[in-house]
Amino acid sequence: MTREFVVLPDANAVAAATADRLLAAGQAAIDDHGTFYLVLTGGSTPQLVCPLLVVPPRVLQLDWTRVEFFFGDERAVPARHPDSNYNTARQTLLDYLPRVEPGQVHRMIGEAADLDAAARAYQALINRIVPRGESGLPAFDLVWLGMGPDGHTASLFPGTEALNETERLVVPNWVPQLDAWRLTLTFPILNAAREVNVVAAGEEKAWAVRAVQAGAEGLPPSGMVDAARTVWLVDQAAVAG
């Protein structure tokens, strides 16, 4: 397992590097096995990155018809709700990519009345579509993650039950600090990925980045991601001090 840190001048440079790594991983996956199995992130990160992917030259650098899109987490809201990660991905990326068919986009059903059943259905979907890797679990080619100021990633928040999940790949997670339910991928499936990119910009995230760099005790959830290759893309503000 390797954890790499790429430090860039500012948030815009982080966004450009994130977009370029996604394209490179996608082309490598298509060359290797014909399909790019990609996990998209939620939060604020896509607002800077996705606009770079939908215009030339980058939008022309990948055959988007050969991408299977998944999600790292979802809020318990309908698909077109402003807080939906799927809705954000649709508005910033998916609706603008050439020739992407609805069947390529696999959203979590955040509005389900039974979130546990929705989580199990999403796990079954992953098991059916994504080829297994060396760990025996489905291996995404690239998992794109952000990080919140509290160190959470996906919907793996500090102190929540999902942090301790060792068997299931997708679970509902109650987040007391938000008074809300979320659906989230868990560490077993995140760590089975061929590559994970954790994107963090801003001085409010510096404490978490420093803790991960130091391998300190009590790592934030983002620091518990440990795939075959885990690359942190951070700006100068996020490594301050």
- Report pLDDT digits (tens) over 197-210: 999 999 999 999 99
Q: 2-239 in CATH: which number?
A: 3.40.50.1360
The dihedral sign for the CA sequence 41, 162, 209, 37: negative
Is-contact 11 41, C-beta < 8 A? no
pLDDT at res. 1: 57
Stretch 91-108: mean pLDDT: 97
The answer on pLDDT for 2 being more than 90 is no
Would you say residue 34 has pLDDT above 80? Answer: yes
Report d(CA 169, CA 47) in Å as an integer: 27
Q: What does DSSP say about strands 142-146 and 196-200: parallel, antiparallel, or unpaired?
A: parallel
Give residue limits of the domains in the chain: 2-239
Q: Which residue has the tokens 């790292």?
A: 72
Q: In this predicted model, what pLDDT tens digit does every residue of 126-169 receive, in sequence order? A: 999 999 999 999 999 999 999 999 999 999 999 999 999 999 99
Please tell me the pTM assigned to this model: 0.97
Distance CA 101, CA 67 (A): 10
Q: Residue 77: pLDDT above 80?
A: yes
